Structure 1
Amino acid sequence: MQVSKELYFTDGNNEVKYLDTTASFNLAITQDGSAFDLTNATAIDVKVANDTGYVFDKSIDMATIKQPLAGLITMPVDTEVMNALVPDDYTIEVWVTLSSLVTPGSQEGLTDDGSTTNTTTSSTATTTYNAIFPSDDPQGFTITENVMSDSGDVIPVMSLDTFQQEFDQLKTDLTNKVATLQGPKGDKGDKGDTGTVDNTGLISAPAFQSLQTATTELQQNALMINPANDFNKASLLFEVAGRWPVGGAVAQSMQCDIKTGIIYAAEQTDDAGSQRIVKYNPDTKAIIQERALNLDAVVWFEGNSLYHDAVTGDVMFVLPYDLLGNWFIYNFDTDTKGTPFRMVGQTIYCIDDTGKYFVTINSKDMPGVNGYITGFNVFDLTSVISGVPKLVNYIPVKDGIVRGNNKIQGFQMVGDSIYIGRGTYNQRFRTTVIDNTGAVTADYVWDQNDIKKIIGFPDDGQVFTCESEGMSYNIVNGKAVPVIVDIGRRGSGVYYAMINLNDTNGVKIRYTSGVSVAGMTRMDVSGINRGLAFNLGSTAQDPSILDCLKNVHEYGSYNFTVAQGNTGLAPEMGSVSGIAIVREMDGYNLNKMMVIAVDYNNCTWTNYFDKGTWMQWSKQLNYVPLWIGSSKMNQPVTLNKPASGYKRYAAIYQTSNGNGMFAVGDGKTIIINCFNNGNGAAAATTFYEAQLIFPTITTARLSVNGANSLAVPNGASNGTPTMSTSPGDITIKEIWGMM
Structure 2
Amino acid sequence: MTKTLDFAYETPQEVKVGDDETTFTLVCKNEDLPVDLTTAKLITVKIGNRSGYLRGQLISIDSLAKLPTGQFNFSFDKDTLANFPTGNYCLEVWVTDAQGTSIYPSGNPLNFIVTTNIENSSGATITTIAFDDFVKTMNKAASTIAKGDKGDKGDKGDKGDKGDKGDTGATGIQGPKGDKGDKGDTGTVDNDGLISAPAFQSLQTQVNNSAVGTNLLVGTAKCDFTFGDNSGTSNVQKYDDETNYIQYTSNTPTDYMGSWWKLTPKSGQVYTLSADICGNGYISGGYFHYEGSDAGSLDQVNLTNDWQRISNTFRVNTTSGSWVAYANNSTLLKIKNVKIEKGSVATDWCPNPAETLTQSDYAKIKAAIVALGGTLS
Considering fraction of residues, name the structure with more strand: 1
Q: Which has the larger radius of gyration?
A: 1
TM over 0.5: no
- TM-score scaled to structure 2, two decimals? 0.33
Q: Which is richer in helix?
A: 2
